Structure 1
Amino acid sequence: MRERMADKVEDEVEHVDLGRLGRALGFRFRRVQNKLARDFATNTAGWKLRSGMFSSLEIISANPGISQAMLSTEVGLDKSAVVPLVDDLEKRGWVIRTRSQEDRRRNHLSITEAGKAELDALARMMDETESTALAVLTDEERAVISRALDKVYDAYIRASRGN
């Protein structure tokens, strides 16, 4: 009986009409992101990561010397939320914060060797987490989604800056 009930619930989920939400870009992105984020949090529970920590570490790694302000923009967190996040990364020994010689109000961020090692392990967890979702897509579909997301993000950022 339980198996038949589970099958019925699964069938219902597959055929749920999203109504207007089916046309809502934000809802559809968020629905996938929520599932991936929950699974990633479960897979990385031992790291005790706070929200935005993994993405911040990756962006710092890819952009040595990035400012906290630019990091805030790229991860989509308020500047006030980035300060304690960077404090935590620094306490863990994963990031070094240095004052800019040109502008003493600005900090530059760089990843440490310990941070690189942790980032590599976290990236493996991300790959594992996303593997099921990516497995249903062809290489071409992945490329299309990637380009489309970048295009939407770039347009959204330009619009928010008044460009």
Structure 2
Amino acid sequence: MASTSTPQPRGPEPERSEVALGRLGDFVGFRLRRVQNQLSRKFAAANADLGLRSGLFSSLAIVAANPGISQSELSGAVGLDKSVTVTIIDELEKYGWAERRRSAEDRRRHALYVTPEGDRQLDRLFARMEEVEGAVLHQLSDAEHQMLNDVLDRMYDAVVREL
């Protein structure tokens, strides 16, 4: 005999402290991306006052570390499509943070350089990045942090060799 009772209203579902990853938990790419997404979200929030487009900070930092880098080399280093990289460089120039110069070795290519204002902006952005990542990295000892960096570098090298 079927029950004729009316379902009782339920309260709000209790929050789950952790969602099961299932088989995704077996894949390092997913785990890395999950952490990266959260750090990127927090970094974007910390820099909301600047209205930075995604990829601007990393591109500026790579140019600063590699004065004279070509647009193509930058695109490969940051992992962005070449057309997106051109847009980012246009924006860096608009802000006065970087500049294109004709390459002395190959007049067909542009060499990229950070301006003094770009260096000042990088100092501010790196300070904010240290705050964002520091809130997470304090979970690791210095040895664990170094090991993580070493492992990530080896993984990156292996992935690049595969391409």
Query: TM-score by structure 2 length?
Result: 0.89
Offset, 1:101: 2.5
**Percent identity (aligned):** 51
Say which one has the larger Rg.
2
For 1:132 and 1:87, how far apart are their aligned partners in 2? 33
Match of 2:27 among 24, 45, 59: 24
Match of 2:125 among 118, 122, 125: 122
SS in 1 for 2:101: strand
The match for 2:77 is 74
The match for 2:17 is 13
Q: Aligned-pair RMSD on alpha carbons?
A: 1.4
1:104 aligns with 2:107: yes
Deviations 1:44-98 (A, max 9, x none): 0111111110001111111111111111111110111000100000111100111
Match of 1:34 among 37, 49, 61: 37
Match of 1:155 among 153, 158, 161: 158
Deviations 1:80-137 (A, max 9, x none): 1000100000111100111112222211111110000011001111011111110100
1:92 aligns with 2:129: no
Offset, 1:35: 0.5
Match of 2:86 among 83, 88, 109: 83
1:135 aligns with 2:138: yes
For 1:117 and 1:151, how far apart are their aligned partners in 2? 32
- With 95-104 and 44-53 compared, the bigger mean Cα shift is at 95-104
State the AA in 1 paired with 2:74.
Answer: L
For 1:59 and 1:40, how far apart are their aligned partners in 2? 17
SS in 2 for 1:96: strand
For 1:150 and 1:105, how far apart are their aligned partners in 2? 33
- With 17-26 and 79-88 compared, the bigger mean Cα shift is at 17-26
Deviations 1:22-52 (A, max 9, x none): 1111110010001100000000011111111
Query: TM-score by structure 1 length?
Result: 0.89
Structure 1 stretches (4+) deviating beyond 3 angstroms?
A: none
Q: How many residues align?
A: 152
